[in-house]
Amino acid sequence: MNSTTPDAATPGSRRPSFPGHAVLLVGVPPLEAWVRERTAHYDEGFVSADPAFAHAHVTVLAPFPVGATDRAAAAASEVRAFDYTLRRVATFPDGVVHLVPEPDRGFRALTDAARRLVPEVAPYWGRFEPVPHVTLDRLGPGVTESSTRDAVAHLLPCRARASELLLTWWEDGGCRVLGRFPLSS
């Protein structure tokens, strides 16, 4: 097994009920430091040492088959690089506080391409339909939509460009980038 292939069955895993999974995503560099800090606040094990890893991101398709790099590259090649803005904080019914990308059509085009190329995958394990967003936090003690909005206000509006897809591995103590795929230019 090479160093970029995740081994979900590694003995001694700290979290055997969550062996890890791959996610195809678009990183959001202007928000990386803020989201990385929130990740560390909740679970230091999901803070990646990989400098290319994107804690701040918009998920394109999760889970994603680790060995399907050709399909990740194909999805990326179908969509031109695009600009978007994050300014609106919202909350999903399950309590996830997030930013809404505007316009979201580029992200939807990437998700549509990935779903067409990987039809065997049910987004979010069949629990949710994909809605483009950047996760910021989750409602709980001391965390409201308003408090989260206040905490990120100095970063908004956030203008960014989607220029590549990242295939990432998410596992306690092992988050890393498995592949990078440029969008069409």
CB–CB of 2/165 below 8 Å?
no
**145 phi, psi to nearest 5 deg:** -60, -40
**Mind giving me the DSSP string for 93-144?**
TTSEEEEEEES-HHHHHHHHHHHHH-TTPPGGGGTS-----EEEEE-BTTB-
Summarised one tens digit per residue, pLDDT across range 45-85 is 999 999 999 999 999 999 999 999 999 999 999 999 999 99
Pairwise CA distance, residues 41 & 156, whole Å: 21
Per DSSP, 184 falls in state B
Q: Strands of 57-61's sheet, edge to edge?
A: 57-61, 21-27, 164-170, 176-182
In the chain, % of residues over pLDDT 70 = 90
Query: Going from the N-terminus, what domains does the chain have, and what CATH number goes with each?
Result: 21-182 (3.90.1140.10)
pTM, full prediction: 0.89
